[in-house]
Chain A
Amino acid sequence: MKTNIKLLLLIAAFLMTLVSIRPVMAQDTTPAVSDDQVNEVAQDLYCPVCENTPLDVCPTKACTQWRELIREKIALGWSEQQIKQYFAEQYGGQVLAVPPRRGLNWIVYVLPPLVVLGAVFLAVNIVKRSRKPVKSQTEDSSLPSSAAPGTVLDQIEKDLQKEE
């Protein structure tokens, strides 16, 4: 009788083990996260320790672990944005490849277009102002004002004479 009970207990334990193993097996059947998927996210993050080194190429052990962390997050179904946000919260804003759009960081987004606009404004203004006729203007007769073949030939010859 005792043997039967032991046998029943063993079978019960075996069944329970099987039941507990099932979720693990279920996890194993989910598609593995490839290195390429990890690097896709890691290339837009910077190593929190080695300044100015993208996470996908950083050779340190710490970065290897961070890449594994990205792998885990992808496996859990996190989006790229969520992972970046997580890293920024954990290690600070410097892990992001570009500053987040807030506060003083707006300078980085606003200033370049302003620089370009300023350059366009300057160019237009300088040329417009210059086009007003000036009596004292000196003409360099060695430089033709048109690119027609005749004048191109003149230009070539005058250039050569100048060099000589």
Chain B
Amino acid sequence: MIANIGFGVLVITLVTSLIAVITAVYGVTSKTRAMLETSRLAALSTFPLLSISIAVLIVLLLSGNFEYVYVYQTTSLSMPVYLKIAALWGGQQGSLLFWCWLLSGFTFIVLIRKWKQDRDLLPWVIVVTNITIFFFTLLVLFFENPFLKYYIMYNGEIITSLFQPFHAIAADPTDGSGLNPLLRHFGMVVHPPMLYLGFVGFIIPFAYAIAALIEGRTDDHWLKATRKWSLTAWLFLSLGLVLGSRWAYDVLGWGGYWSWDPVEISAFMPWLTGTAYLHSMVMQDKRGLFKHWNIALIILTFCLVIFGTFLTRSGLFSSVHAFSESELGPAFFIFITVMFIASLGLLLYRWSSLSSGYQIKSFFSRESAFLYNNLLFIAIFAICLLGVIFPILSELFTGQQVTVGPQFYESAAGPLFALLLLLMGIVPLTAWSTSTARNLGKSIWKPALVSLTFPIAALILGAHRWVAVLAIWLAALVICVTLYDYIRSIRLRAASQHESIGKAFITLTSRNRRRYGGYIIHVGVALMGVGIIGIEFFQTQTQSMVKQGETLELSGYTVTYNNLEITDTPDGRNVAEAEMTITRDGRDLKVVYPRIDYYYDSDQAVTVPGLRTTLADDLYIILVDWEPVTSEGATFKVFRNPLMNWFWIGSIVAVLGTLLALWPSRERKSIQKEPA
């Protein structure tokens, strides 16, 4: 019964979103106020409607109604409550509904906050967002319905159907098959929602850009109105990617955090174009530059968001991130194509009115640096896109299956990432408008000199690969230049205003949050770069079978295999857990417990590493196999991942920087307090 409510509400949502689109278009073209109001109310109602549907599905998941296909496939009696809730986005059907619900929520917030301010643009924002909601609701209703039930036909065949067929009785399974064990991790609880929030968040600036194009509002309003939306979407997308990396590091047991899997890259591509967009936004905001480019970037980001969702669900790729094969591919393909062509057509139609009067004057100016930054991001994106679609093209045109693995991405995009670091190091000290290499050299030589101490230290400590030493210098350059500029600004402010250093620091940071938030993000990214350099260039590993009491040696560490215990747990796992002591120079450092969890309900195993983590390195131990019956001998794989922790620390710093940039200014607060 309750599921019928969920389904019925979805049907109403489909109709409502269509009404919102039609009445918005009619309201604008006929200038009918009542129609526009109808459109607004219809668009607003999609959020509470979809919330009911989501609530119904959560109730079904929590109450263990295993006669429902989705509940059976994603939950089991032994799963804890938080994982049962997370199962909402753990399967194809639920995650599509969740995606759609988030978009309706974002649209709801925009309409509540901006209806009076942006009366001319918002009807078109409704059109764009509700076309997307309509499309996703259609998919949920007709392709991936989470409210289907199992029925047993008279001949014993088990079928799935929304309504009870003739001569069939409802199946009543006593337990479900449970969530994929790889997804039963805290990272899984937070990683997909963050990613979806990032994906969906970019639809709002896209909708505003399209609205501006349709209305001929080619000024900066759409960009300024959605600046915080864009930054928020970027924050969530970044968080989603980092949390996904952490989940992979903790659960997938390959010793790393990023494997250049096609589905990973499909989430990384909108991040690349979104990051390029955030930078070029600054240029339009400050100099009126890159107007065409910004709209092109947000169109591209939107299409990549849908493309990423499509890749995860099309069955084109097999991946730990991908959902099972489905019929969604053609529908997604048509939607992306139509949206891309329509958006591009609009951009071309308004092309001439988007021209900027301002020009770039020098190869060494800040404007040029932003241009290079954008081109680098787009070049990396193009390489990623090639790597993702080439296996499909190869199979399509030659019938041959090929793999495009990490080596391709690292060798093709690696140098471009290095150039991005170089730009990040230079940009804070570049001047606007006219500038020369000489000016730039004068500004940068002091921090650049200091930054050289890091690669020299690396050389002394034994790093001999020139690429690694260069990468260390670039990361150090970013940190040194950023801190130099920050400290110099504080000192100048303190001297000119006769303030203490502390007060000058607070004044500068709190009053120019965007600039200094950006600085902190750059430092965070450079620290993440340090972690990446550590694992990419200095990772060592060994694997061997050892008997109890025997040891493994790796990079100065000694790992002793003490024993192995195999137990059944109350939550339906068979856990094989080894005890290993890590020592160095005869000193015990830590006892770790690498294990393999075998899940009876889904017949799958998960490798959980034993981890000793410090700022210098991580020792990452995986139980590969063990001798049955006696458990006396077991095979272990040990990785030493130098500097890995800096990747996670850097991501936290970057998040803090983004939050600072997002923090509402006093000016904003005072505007909001003013009577309308």
- Chains A and B form a bound pair: yes
A130 touches B360 (CB 8 A): yes
Q: Which residue of A lies closest to B406 (CB)?
A: A97
A136 touches B376 (CB 8 A): no
Chain B, residues 428-448, CB within 8 Å of chain A (1/0): the string is 011111110001101100000
Q: Which residue of A lies closest to B395 (CB)?
A: A94
Once bound together, how far apart are the Cα atoms of A46 and B376, in whole Å?
30
A19 close to B (CB within 8 Å): no
Chain B hits for A51, CB < 8 A: 317-319
Residues facing B in A17-49 (CB within 8 A) are: 34-36, 39, 44, 46
Once bound together, how far apart are the Cα atoms of A107 and B393, in whole Å?
11
The listed residue (B286, B398, B492) touching A152 by CB distance below 8 A is B492
Q: Which 10 residue pairs are nearest across A and B when measured between Cβ atoms?
A: A97-B405, A51-B318, A35-B543, A130-B360, A112-B412, A94-B401, A143-B432, A99-B402, A130-B359, A145-B433
The listed residue (A35, A122, A137, A156) touching B635 by CB distance below 8 A is A35
Chain A hits for B254, CB < 8 A: 54, 57
A152 touches B403 (CB 8 A): no
Q: State how many angstroms separate the Cβ of B284 from the closest Cβ of chain A.
A: 12
Other A-B pairs, 11, CB within 8 Å; known A138-B288, A143-B286, A143-B287: A34-B544, A51-B318, A59-B605, A105-B394, A115-B382, A127-B363, A140-B432, A145-B433, A145-B435, A149-B492, A159-B511
A119 close to B (CB within 8 Å): yes
Chain B hits for A54, CB < 8 A: 254, 259, 405
Chain B hits for A46, CB < 8 A: 403, 405
Chain A hits for B400, CB < 8 A: 92-93
A116 close to B (CB within 8 Å): yes
A7 close to B (CB within 8 Å): no
Chain B hits for A146, CB < 8 A: 431, 434-435, 439
Q: Which residue of A lies closest to B252 (CB)?
A: A57
Once bound together, how far apart are the Cα atoms of A127 and B360, in whole Å?
6
Chain B hits for A122, CB < 8 A: 375
B331 close to A (CB within 8 Å): no
Residues of B within 8 A of A (CB): 253-255, 259, 261-262, 286-288, 317-319, 357-363, 368, 371-372, 375-376, 378-379, 382-383, 386-387, 390-391, 393-394, 397-398, 400-408, 412-413, 416, 429-435, 439-440, 442-443, 488-489, 492-493, 496, 507-508, 511-515, 541-545, 605, 607, 625, 635, 637, 665-667
A6 close to B (CB within 8 Å): no
Q: Counting chain A CB atoms within 10 Å of each CB, which of B359, B542, B545, B637 scores highest?
A: B359
Once bound together, how far apart are the Cα atoms of A148 and B402, in whole Å?
55
Residues facing B in A50-104 (CB within 8 A) are: 50-52, 54, 57, 59, 64, 92-99, 103-104
B359 touches A134 (CB 8 A): yes
Q: Which residue of B lies closest to A131 (CB)?
A: B361
Once bound together, how far apart are the Cα atoms of A63 and B267, in whole Å?
28
Residues of A within 8 A of B (CB): 34-36, 39, 44, 46, 50-52, 54, 57, 59, 64, 92-99, 103-105, 107-108, 111-112, 115-116, 118-119, 122-123, 126-127, 130-132, 134, 136-140, 143-147, 149, 151-153, 156-157, 159-160, 163-164
B431 touches A147 (CB 8 A): yes
B404 touches A98 (CB 8 A): yes
Q: Counting chain A CB atoms within 10 Å of each CB, which of B357, B400, B403 scores highest?
A: B403
Q: State how many angstroms separate the Cβ of A35 from the closest Cβ of chain B.
A: 4
B359 touches A52 (CB 8 A): no
Chain B hits for A132, CB < 8 A: 359
Chain B hits for A143, CB < 8 A: 286-287, 432-433
Given A36-B542, A152-B489, A163-B665, A145–B434 Cβ distance below 8 Å? yes
Once bound together, how far apart are the Cα atoms of A152 and B489, in whole Å?
8
16 A-B pairs within 8 Å (CB atoms) are namely A36-B541, A50-B318, A54-B259, A57-B253, A59-B253, A98-B403, A104-B394, A122-B375, A127-B360, A127-B362, A127-B363, A127-B368, A138-B357, A145-B434, A147-B439, A151-B431
Once bound together, how far apart are the Cα atoms of A111 and B404, in whole Å?
14
Once bound together, how far apart are the Cα atoms of A82 and B372, in whole Å?
43
Q: Counting chain B CB atoms within 10 Å of each CB, which of A105, A130, A134, A157 scores highest?
A: A130
The listed residue (A94, A104, A147) touching B398 by CB distance below 8 A is A104
A99 touches B403 (CB 8 A): yes
Once bound together, how far apart are the Cα atoms of A130 and B672, in whole Å?
40
Q: Which residue of A lies closest to B513 (CB)?
A: A163
Q: Which residue of B lies closest to A145 (CB)?
A: B433
Given A119-B376, A122-B375, A156-B493, A163–B430 Cβ distance below 8 Å? no
A136 touches B357 (CB 8 A): yes
Once bound together, how far apart are the Cα atoms of A112 and B386, in whole Å?
8
Once bound together, how far apart are the Cα atoms of A119 and B376, in whole Å?
7
B512 touches A160 (CB 8 A): yes
Chain B hits for A152, CB < 8 A: 488-489, 492
Q: State how many angstroms separate the Cβ of B100 from the closest Cβ of chain A.
A: 28
B434 touches A159 (CB 8 A): no
Q: State how many angstroms separate the Cβ of B171 from the closest Cβ of chain A.
A: 31
Chain A hits for B507, CB < 8 A: 160
A144 touches B432 (CB 8 A): yes
B431 touches A144 (CB 8 A): yes
Q: State how many angstroms separate the Cβ of B19 from the closest Cβ of chain A.
A: 43
The listed residue (B368, B386, B405, B545) touching A98 by CB distance below 8 A is B405
Chain B hits for A145, CB < 8 A: 431-435
Once bound together, how far apart are the Cα atoms of A149 and B429, in whole Å?
11
A112 touches B431 (CB 8 A): no
Q: Which residue of A lies closest to B444 (CB)?
A: A147
A52 touches B492 (CB 8 A): no
Q: State how many angstroms separate the Cβ of A63 from the closest Cβ of chain B.
A: 11
Once bound together, how far apart are the Cα atoms of A19 and B483, in whole Å?
77
Once bound together, how far apart are the Cα atoms of A163 and B318, in whole Å?
49
Chain B hits for A99, CB < 8 A: 390, 394, 402-404
Q: Which residue of A lies closest to B366 (CB)?
A: A143
Once bound together, how far apart are the Cα atoms of A130 and B286, in whole Å?
17
Q: State how many angstroms separate the Cβ of B509 from the closest Cβ of chain A.
A: 11
Given A99-B404, A104-B393, A127-B371, A156–B492 Cβ distance below 8 Å? yes
The listed residue (A52, A59, A147) touching B443 by CB distance below 8 A is A147
Once bound together, how far apart are the Cα atoms of A116 and B419, in whole Å?
11
Once bound together, how far apart are the Cα atoms of A160 and B435, in whole Å?
23
B496 touches A153 (CB 8 A): yes
Q: Which residue of A lies closest to B372 (CB)?
A: A123
B605 touches A93 (CB 8 A): no
Q: State how many angstroms separate the Cβ of A161 from the closest Cβ of chain B.
A: 9
Once bound together, how far apart are the Cα atoms of A38 and B489, in whole Å?
56
Given A156-B493, A160-B507, A94–B402 Cβ distance below 8 Å? yes
The listed residue (A39, A105, A115, A163) touching B383 by CB distance below 8 A is A115
